[in-house]
């Protein structure tokens, strides 16, 4: 922004202000549904999705990393319960 002033003799002074706009606020993402979902083996999984919002952006990109999906067999569950897992 440039601010300027002119006196009655036509002398002019000016000063500039630089405004830096930053977005340092992370988007807020929330699960729709429970954080832990248990399904029967062989059944399909219905993705419940997420809701996202941001302080500035409206065209947010949501990605899903399915590498965190873990199949737990009943044997593993038994092992966990018995302290072998
Ligand atoms: Ca933001």
Domain residue spans of the chain = 25-85
Residue among 21, 20, 16, 22 nearest 1 (CA): 16
Residues 6+ apart with CB under 8 A from 2: 14, 15, 16, 17
Indicate whether 78 pLDDT > 80.
Answer: no
Instruction: Report the length, in residues, of the chain.
Output: 85
27 alpha carbon to ligand 1 midpoint, in Å? Answer: 5
54 alpha carbon to ligand 1 midpoint, in Å? Answer: 5
Residue among 62, 70, 55, 65 nearest 30 (CA): 62
57 alpha carbon to ligand 1 midpoint, in Å? Answer: 6
14 alpha carbon to ligand 1 midpoint, in Å? Answer: 34
Q: Are β-strands 12-16 and 2-6 bridged in parallel, bridged antiparallel, or unpaired? A: antiparallel
51 alpha carbon to ligand 1 midpoint, in Å? Answer: 15
pLDDT in tens, 4-59: 999 999 999 999 999 999 999 999 999 999 998 888 989 998 889 999 999 999 99
């Amino acid at each position: 922004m440039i601010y300027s002033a002119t006196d009655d003799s036509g002398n002019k002074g000016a000063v500039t202000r630089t405004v830096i706009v930053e977005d340092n606020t992370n988007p807020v993402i929330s699960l729709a549904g429970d954080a832990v979902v248990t399904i029967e083996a062989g059944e399909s999984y219905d993705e419940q999705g997420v809701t996202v919002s941001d302080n500035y952006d409206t065209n947010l990109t949501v990605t899903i990393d399915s590498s965190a999906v873990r199949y737990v067999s009943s044997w593993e569950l038994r092992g966990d319960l018995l302290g072998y897992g």
